[in-house]
Each structure stands twice: as C-alpha cells, then as structure tokens.
Structure 1
Amino acid sequence: MTDGTARPSRPRLRLLAEDASVTELELFFDLVLVFAFTQVDDLAAHHTTAVNMLRALLVLAVMWWVWIGYAWLGNVAQADVGLIRLALFSAMGAGLIVAVVIPEAFEDMSGGLHGPLVFALAYLVIRLIHLVSFWVISAKDPQLRRQVTRWSAGSITIGTTLLIIAAQAHGTAQIWWWIGAVVGDMGWTLLAGNEWRLNSAGHFAERHGLIVIVALGESIVSIGMGVAGLPVSWPIIAGVLLALSVSGLLWSAYFDAAADHVEKALKQARGPRRVQIARNCYTYWHFPMVVGIVALALGSKKVMAELGGTEDHALTGIPLLALYGGPVLYLLALIGFRHYATGVVLWARLLTAGILVALTPLAWHLPALGALALLAAVLAVLISWERWRYPECV
C-alpha cells in the first residue's frame, strides 16, 4: 500500500556550488592516500639507496595523480551525490588495491598474483572511472567535453600503457618506463588546454590544504612508528617533541603566509587564468610539497631509530638528506606556489632553504638529535620572523 505521494527522485549529478565545502566522502576517500603515504615511506625506508628513493618517488607521483584527478572531479560535481558518489567508492576500492601492492610495484613477490601488473591494472581502473565520470558530467557542457577529449587522448593512453609495459620489464628499463608514464601524465595535462571547469575556488583550496595536513599527519605517524617497541628515554622524548615541532612549523609555513593569498588570487581570477592558477599552484606545486613532507617522515623515522640505541650516532647519507632536503623542497615549493599566483617572492623562505642546504654538512657530523634540533631551530626562526613581519597573516 502507498499513500499516493510520489517520492522525490534522487539526482544523478549535482554541480558544485561556488560556496561549497569539502564533503565527508572526499575526506573518506583521502584515507586511501594516508595508507599509500605510509606504504611509500616504508618502501623508501626498507633500503635507503638512490634507486629505491627514485622508486618511492615514482610511486608517490602515481598516487598523487590518482588523488589529483578526483580533486578536480569533486570540484565540478558534488562528490556525495549520485554517480560521482558511486565513482568515488569504486575508485577507493581500486586505489586501496594499488596502495596494498606498493611493496610489489617494481619487484614481484613469490606466490600470488604478479604484483607489478596488478598495480598497473588497478591504476588503469582508477583512471577509467575518472574519465567516464568526467565524460558524463560534460554531456551538456561543450567546453568541458572538448577539454576532456583532448586530455584523455594522451593522458590515459600514455600513463597507463607505459605502466603496463613497465610491469613486464626489470631493472633500469623498468625505471625508465615508469619515468615515461609519470612525465607523460603530468606533461600532457599541462599541454592539453585550459578549458577545465573550476566551480568553487574555496572548495579547491580547502581540498589541497587538507591533503597537506594528511601528509603532515603521516609524518607524525612515522615519528611514532620510529620509536614503537623501544623503551622510553629522555632522548626519545626530546626527539619526538622536536620532530613534532618541525611538522608544526611546516604547517605554519603553509597556512600562515601562503594558502590564504593564493586562494584569494584564485577566487579573483577568471577564465583560463583561474584554471592555470588551480593547475600550476595546486596540481603541480603541491606535489613537491608532499614529496618534501614524505622525505621528512623518512628522516624523522631514522632519527627515532638512532635515539633508540645505546649511543646517539650521527645521521648520515640518504636519511640526513631526507631530513634536511624534505623541508628545503617544501619551502621552495611554497615559494613557487605563492609566486605564480601573486607575483610575490618569499625571500625569507628562499634564504632559509639556502641556510639548510649550507648546514647539511655540519649536521652530517652532529648526533642525530642535534641535527634534528638544528633543523627545528632554523625553521622556528623563519616562522617567528614571518609572524612578526606579517602579523595580518596569522
């Protein structure tokens, strides 16, 4: 029996409003990337060699490209409604498989399925879900349909095809196929045009600010994992607090004197310029920020491991370069992020990055705790100066 009242039909799609905020489903989607960041950090920490660092970077680039595609998708159509809701849940499933297979992305483990091929095929599924979703959204938008067509002609075919080929290769050849896939994806997107839709500048900026927090959160997890199972000691307590301080200072560097200015420029821009700011400042400049944070996580984990020993040995080699190079890369990316949108160069940050590079040889000869303390001190001076110089930004 029914009362004769017609139920309202659920919309298949709902375009995002200008004043929209990030949805709970998008935050849920980001949990896959949290796990992926942890997997990349473990991959890098397993063998601290140059080749393994390159492998970790390439995997991180692929996972970033997964996330960035759905960040753009969620800015055109509301993520928790209709077909896009289904697309995000489906992409989460494939994305979780990709993240699980990260340890086998280059070298297959004995037994089970062929890890590199599973990684490549799951990535293909994610990209196809994304493409179909954009194709449906653009049905009544000729401009967006042209953009999606141009982009898909190269981006989908280059990245996914080369990763499938890489799954069958080994050694140096495999690395080059991976590099081709990443460069092909990122390069084709840059050249494919500026006719994308950006319905909400506030939503887009918030989305990327949250992913910075996610990455910084993973760096804090790495601090805890670095001392897990070790007896607590005063050096460990000091190291944990210093490492947390470094993550907090990097958080301040993003939100105090960069994020609001770029978001304002994005909101004021119109036409192709708006798309260019969104693509270059957020899609591209945020990637080295995330790389820098993941590198810092690796360095912090190695510091914690040193503090768990009977002696506080010096941190050298790739772990030290990650500890100092991560914040340097992060600061340089923030400079490019702010400059492209506003034309302003954050000279204090450029100077700080140079100082950290210059101090790296000194840190090479310091105990691990001393190297971490020196890094925290330099970043604290930068943030303190900016808070005094630009009080309106805090």
Structure 2
Amino acid sequence: MGMAGRLPGRLLLRRENPGRTSFLELFFDLAFIFALTRLSRTLLDDHSLNGGFQVLLMLAALWWVWFVTAWSADWFDPRAPLVVALLLWVMFGGLLMSAAVPTVFENHAMVFAAVYVAIHLGRAAILLPALRGHPLLVRSLRVAIWFAISGVLWVVGAAVAPAREVLWALALVLEYSLARLRWPFPGLGRSTWPDLQVNGRHLSERYQQIFIIAVGELILVAGITYSESGLSRDSTVAFALGFVTAVALARLYLVPAGGRLGARIEAEGPPGSKLTLLAGYLHLVMIAGVLTTSVAMQMTIAAPGGHGMGQLTLAVVGPVLFLIARILLAAVVDGSRPWARLIGVPAIIVGGLATGKLPQLVNGAVVAGVLLLIVLFDAMPGLWRFIRRSGDSDAPDQRRHG
C-alpha cells in the first residue's frame, strides 16, 4: 500500500501499520481547543460581515496547520524523536497563533503571519534533511517551496494593513488549491496520488477527534457563559438548548457516514487521497458551522430575552453550514441523500426568519428543535427495520400459541 520504507531512526511508518492515533497526536489537538475558544470570542466581539470574514481567514489558516500536520503524521512514525519534535514545534506555534487571534487585525498581524510561515517552513527544515535519498524528499520539497512562496503573501499582508485580508485570502486559496493540484512545480513535476496515499482509517479517526473537540468547545463556552449568567431560569433553558444542539450536531456528524469515511478511502486505494483532501475541506466548513453556532449559543445564554440580527444570523448560518457540508460528505462517501437533512436546511432558514422579531431564546429553541427532528427522522428507518425484525421473530411463537 503506497510507498513503503524506513529511514534511520524509524522515521517512516509502515503503510500496513493500522495507524492508530498516538497519544502525542491527541496532545497536539489540545492546541486546537485554545484556537477555537479564541476564535469564538473574537467573533462574539465583532460578528459583523467583516468580522466574520476575518475570523474565517484565521480559522482557515489554523485548520491548514492542523490538516497538513495530521496528514504528515499519517506518514511518519509518531514515536520517532524527529516526529515528536515536529509535532511539539507545530503545537507551540499553533498556540502562539491562537494567542494572537483577538488582536491579529490590530497589533499582532505579524506574529500570526510569521508564526504561520515558520510552522510550515520549520516542518520542511526538520524533515528534508532526514529524507535525503528517499523518494519522499521531492514531494516534501515541492510543498516547502510553495509554502515559501505563499509565505511572502502572508508577511506582506501583515505589514500592509489595507491589503491584509486580500493577500491572506489569496495565500489561503493558493495553498488549498495547490494541495488539490498535488503541489506542481516547474522542474520538479507534481506528486502522484500514490505519493500522497494515506491510511484512511487513521485520517478518518483524526477527523472525528477534531470534530468532537469543536463540539466540546461549544459545550465549554456555553457552560462558562451560563456560569457567569447568574443561573436565571431563561439562561438555564438556553443552556439546555445549547446542550441539545451540541448532542444533535455530534449525532448528525457520526451517523450515517461518519464511521464509513476511512473504509471508503481504503477501498479507493491511491485515488482515495482525493477523498481525504475533500473531506478536509468539508470538515473546515463543518467546524466553521459549529464555531458559529457556539457564538450564537453564548449570545442566547447571556441575554435570552434580547433581540438582535447578529444572533439570529449566527444561529441560522452555523447549523446550515454544518448541514450542507455534512450532506456533501455523505454524498461522496456512500452516495446517500439524507432527505431529513436536505429538508432541514430550508427549515432552519425559514424558522430563523419567522422568529426574527422574537426573543433570542425562541430562536434558539426553534433551531435546536429542527436539529432534534432531523436526528429523529434519521433514526426512523433503523427503527422501522428493528420493529419489522421483531415482528418477524415473534411470528413463529404467535403461530404456535394460536
């Protein structure tokens, strides 16, 4: 499967290895919790269209750090000292980027950009010498060159405030597109899909873990907001709705295709890397949806009787983003078209518009109610199959006693 081999120090992981997530990878994910809390706080402070776009840029950058590192860890043995150093390097850099999030577009743009570039180029500086003489060297070199080129956009954007959003958006579009194009570079060619082949079950497990972390951030900030709200009756109801929303999002993520992504990637063989990459893009959208929902929940718990287009927009946009990306993931994994979710998207939009002039608590109840109904309708086919099987198993006994 893919390119096998070992380098001194057991750097490369054998492709037949089941690739279970290591403790260090889970430890690395902790940095993403901090990133999400900083991003949600920033969006809470400024949920205008411009503020939302800025948070999206920072989320896309932090997600790309996580994704490229998770992809790399799929190839390299997490027990190798060099890989341990790499993961700790990226983790510390991610924490620095996250700490700068609230003031990135004020005073600390250069911190965010410079650390982002240093993470990607530092990864190359650690791996390239160790890969000397191995076919993976060329693949890693292509990626490093492109990150050096996009790094210019990041640094210039940090230095030139009026062009910051445009240059950073351009850098992200370039990086995300180059991954899909397999990092082509003149004179070095482009990677083949076998070059990029991953352990599907390992990456699928990593996606599940990082999504649960995103849902955990929703519960965390909702709990903190509720604790600081005075524990009033309406705030308690809003907190309960937030919990229902979190449970519904987790259930809708895991069923039906959440557990089948890895098997589908494995079945595809080398072309499964395309599916892995697409799943990475869709997970970014789903996490953006959860983050947006988290901010809406905070606003509702803090002021359940308040009114505001900002909370209404976030409460609608968050679940809609999640559902659309989740529907697309199910379509590419097993070709399914979950009708309850397809209906749920316009239902949330209509419900949001209908409750636009009502208290935020009502809007939160409508969104949570729609998500809960989708979960119930999703479960109905399995329930009916269970009832039919139970009826069939009881039939012989009924005939014996009849």
TM-score by length of 1: 0.88
Q: Which of 330, 333, 342 is residue 338 of structure 1 equivalent to? A: 330
Matched residue, 1:112:
none
Structure showing greater Rg: 2
Using the TM superposition, name which of 115-124 and 59-68 deviates more: 115-124
Amino acid at match of 1:268: A
Matched residue, 1:178:
168
Distance in 2 between the 1:48 and 1:204 partners? 32
Residue correspondence of structure 1 range 276-287 to structure 2 within 5 A? 276-281=274-279, 283-287=280-284
Matched residue, 2:151:
160
- Residue 239 of structure 1 aligns to a residue in which SS? helix
Amino acid at match of 2:101: I
Amino acid at match of 2:123: H
The reply on whether 1:13 has 2:2 as its aligned counterpart is no
5+ residue gaps, structure 2? 1-7, 183-190, 387-402
Matched residue, 2:391:
none
Amino acid at match of 1:386: D
Calculate percent identity across the aligned residue pairs.
Answer: 24
Matched residue, 1:374:
366
Residue correspondence of structure 1 range 293-332 to structure 2 within 5 A? 293-307=290-304, 312-314=305-307, 316-332=308-324
Distance in 2 between the 1:11 and 1:357 partners? 55
Distance in 2 between the 1:372 and 1:378 partners? 10
Matched residue, 2:124:
131
Amino acid at match of 2:164: Q
Whether the 8 Å CA contact 2:97–2:112 is kept in 1: the answer is yes
Residue correspondence of structure 1 range 88-127 to structure 2 within 5 A? 88-108=87-107, 115-127=108-120
- Give, in angstroms, the shift of residue 382 of structure 1: 0.7
Matched residue, 2:287:
290
Distance in 1 between the 2:323 and 2:311 partners? 19
Change (3 A) 1:288 1:225: same
Distance in 2 between the 1:339 and 1:158 partners? 35
Using the TM superposition, name which of 12-21 and 363-372 deviates more: 12-21
Whether the 8 Å CA contact 2:352–2:367 is kept in 1: the answer is no
Whether the 8 Å CA contact 1:257–1:393 is kept in 2: the answer is no
CA-atom RMSD, angstroms?
A: 2.1
Distance in 2 between the 1:18 and 1:279 partners? 21
- Residue 80 of structure 1 aligns to a residue in which SS? coil
1:160-206: per-residue Cα shift (whole Å, max 9, x none)? 221101111124x2211111121111111111253444442211111
- Give, in angstroms, the shift of residue 340 of structure 1: 1.9
Distance in 1 between the 2:112 and 2:337 partners? 40
Residue correspondence of structure 1 range 228-243 to structure 2 within 5 A? 228-243=227-242
- Give, in angstroms, the shift of residue 145 of structure 1: 3.6
1:57-108: per-residue Cα shift (whole Å, max 9, x none)? 1000100001001110111112232210111111212221111111221111
Whether the 8 Å CA contact 1:73–1:134 is kept in 2: the answer is no
TM-score by length of 2: 0.86
Change (3 A) 1:375 1:30: same
Distance in 2 between the 1:330 and 1:134 partners? 35
- Residue 336 of structure 2 aligns to a residue in which SS? coil
Whether the 8 Å CA contact 2:82–2:126 is kept in 1: the answer is yes
Whether the 8 Å CA contact 1:292–1:328 is kept in 2: the answer is yes
Distance in 2 between the 1:328 and 1:338 partners? 15
Using the TM superposition, name which of 128-137 and 324-333 deviates more: 128-137
Distance in 2 between the 1:235 and 1:140 partners? 65
Matched residue, 1:5:
none
Amino acid at match of 1:175: E
1:299-358: per-residue Cα shift (whole Å, max 9, x none)? 111101113xxxx123x3222111121111101101111212322222321211121112
Distance in 2 between the 1:72 and 1:134 partners? 14
Whether the 8 Å CA contact 1:220–1:244 is kept in 2: the answer is yes
Matched residue, 1:274:
272
Distance in 2 between the 1:317 and 1:159 partners? 37
Distance in 2 between the 1:335 and 1:276 partners? 18
1:38-69: per-residue Cα shift (whole Å, max 9, x none)? 11111111122111111111000100001001
- Give, in angstroms, the shift of residue 392 of structure 1: 11
Distance in 1 between the 2:338 and 2:94 partners? 36
The reply on whether 1:189 has 2:186 as its aligned counterpart is no
Distance in 2 between the 1:322 and 1:52 partners? 12
Matched residue, 1:209:
208
Amino acid at match of 2:51: N
Whether the 8 Å CA contact 1:227–1:304 is kept in 2: the answer is yes
Distance in 1 between the 2:275 and 2:384 partners? 23
Distance in 1 between the 2:381 and 2:281 partners? 28
